[in-house]
Amino acid sequence: MMEEFEATYYLEGLSQFSSADLAAAGWAIPDLVLEDLLVFAQDQADHIQFWASTIEALGATPISTCAFHFQPVLSDAATWLQFGREMEYIGMSALMSAIAVLDDPELLLSAANFVTVEARHQTIYNIINGGSSVSQAYDVALPPNQLLAMAGQFITGCEIFPMNLPMVPQVAHLFGGMPAGLALNWTWGNATTQTVNQNEFWCQWTSGTSTSAVVQPIAECASPPINGYVFAWITNSSTPLTTDILTQNVGNVVAGPAIAFVDSQMEILSELALHGAANVSDINTVTPAQAASILNSSTV
C-alpha cells in the first residue's frame, strides 16, 4: 500500500511541477532535485510490481482498491518536496515495523532490501530540503496504526489491510522544517491546545536521539532541541513515551504521531543543493585530534 501511495505522490507531483516552479520556489538548480526524484519514482513503480508478484505467489490478492488524495501537498513545489521527505521517512519506518513481525526469510530479505532504498531516498530529501543528510544515529519504527495516523488522511477506499485498524487520532500536520524552540498550538479530533484542560494534556516528542520522549505541558509545547526528524504526540499523562514499538507505552496516547523535521543544522551539502553555493566559512572545521576524540566518545 505504501509503495502505491509513494508512486502516486511522484506521478502527480512530477506531472504538476516543472523546473521553473522549483526555481521560483528557491531551488538554485531545479534539475538537481528532479533528476533524483525521477529515479525514486521508478524505484517505487518497480517495488509495486515486485510486491504484487510476491503477494500473488503467496496465494493472496494485492491491494488494488486504494485511492490517494494528494491535493493538500500539491499546493506548491516546496510543500510537495517537504511532504516527500516525510513520506519517505514514514515509509521506511513502516517497513522497519514489518520486519519485526515477518518470519519468512524471503519476505524479510525483501523488506530489508526496500528499507535501505527508502532510507537513501529520504537522505536525499533531507539534503534538498535544507536539513542534515543523516541527522541521527538511530531511526524509529512505526506500527501500521501510527503510520495511518499520518498517511490515512490521504487514503480512501482500501478494502483490506490496513484500513480496518483502529485509528489513532491525527494531529494537525506540519508541512515544513522548523527551527528548534518554535511554540506550537495543536489540533486533534475536535480538541485544540486552547480548548482542553491544559493541566491534563502533554505534548511529547520521540526521535532516534533517545529511547524515551521529550515531554512538555501542552500549553508550553515547542519544537524540541533535536536535529532532524521528530514525532509529535498528545498524551494524557506526563510519563515519557518510549520508542521501542514492541514495548511502547501507548496507553496514554490521545493523538498522534505527527512527523516533523527540526532543521537546526544546515550542512554544506544542503547549502549546495539549495543555493548552488555554500558559505564554507560558516562551517567549523575539525582537526584530526578532534575527529579522534569524537570517535572515542560513544553516545550509547
Site map (CB under 6 A) of ligand NAG, residues 188-217, x = contact: -xx---x-----------------------
Q: How far is the CB of 295 from ligand NAG (least distance, A)?
A: 8
Q: At what angle do helices 105-128 and 77-99 cross, to 10 degrees?
A: 150
d(CA 160, CA 163): 6
- Which amino acid appears at position 67 of this protein? A
- C-beta of 110 vs 193, nearer to ligand NAG: 193
Query: Rg of the chain over CA atoms, in angstroms?
Result: 20
The upper half-sphere exposure of residue 247, i.e. CA atoms within 13 Å in the direction of its Cβ, equals 5
Site map (CB under 6 A) of ligand NAG, residues 215-244, x = contact: ---------------------x--------
Judged by CB under 6 A, the residue of 15, 64, 199, 282 near ligand NAG is 282
Judged by CB under 6 A, the residue of 183, 268, 283, 286 near ligand NAG is 183
Judged by CB under 6 A, the residue of 102, 252, 269, 275 near ligand NAG is 252
Number of neighbours of residue 236 by Cβ within 10 angstroms: 15
> Is 100 a binder of ligand NAG (CB under 6 A)?
no
Number of neighbours of residue 69 by Cβ within 10 angstroms: 13
Count of positions on this chain that bind ligand NAG (CB under 6 A): 15
> Is 279 a binder of ligand NAG (CB under 6 A)?
yes
Judged by CB under 6 A, the residue of 254, 259, 262, 266 near ligand NAG is 254
- C-beta of 15 vs 296, nearer to ligand NAG: 296
d(CA 124, CA 101): 28
Residue 218 near residue 199 (C-beta atoms within 8 A):
no
Residue 70 CB contacts under 8 Å (≥ 6 apart), including other chains = 8, 9, 12, 13, 83, 154
> Is 284 a binder of ligand NAG (CB under 6 A)?
no
Residue in 83, 209, 96, 177 with CA at minimum distance from that of residue 143 = 96
Residue 43 CB contacts under 8 Å (≥ 6 apart), including other chains = 117, 121
Q: How far is the CB of 267 from ligand NAG (least distance, A)?
A: 15
- C-beta of 123 vs 252, nearer to ligand NAG: 252
> Is 293 a binder of ligand NAG (CB under 6 A)?
yes
> Is 136 a binder of ligand NAG (CB under 6 A)?
no
Residue 205 near residue 226 (C-beta atoms within 8 A):
yes
Judged by CB under 6 A, the residue of 15, 64, 281, 287 near ligand NAG is 281
276: left (phi over 0), alpha (psi -120 to 50) or beta: left
Q: How far is the CB of 228 from ligand NAG (least distance, A)?
A: 22
| Helical (H) or strand (E) element with 35 | helix 30-57
For ligand NAG, the binding residues (CB under 6 A) are: 183-185, 189-190, 194, 236, 252, 254, 279, 281-282, 292-293, 296
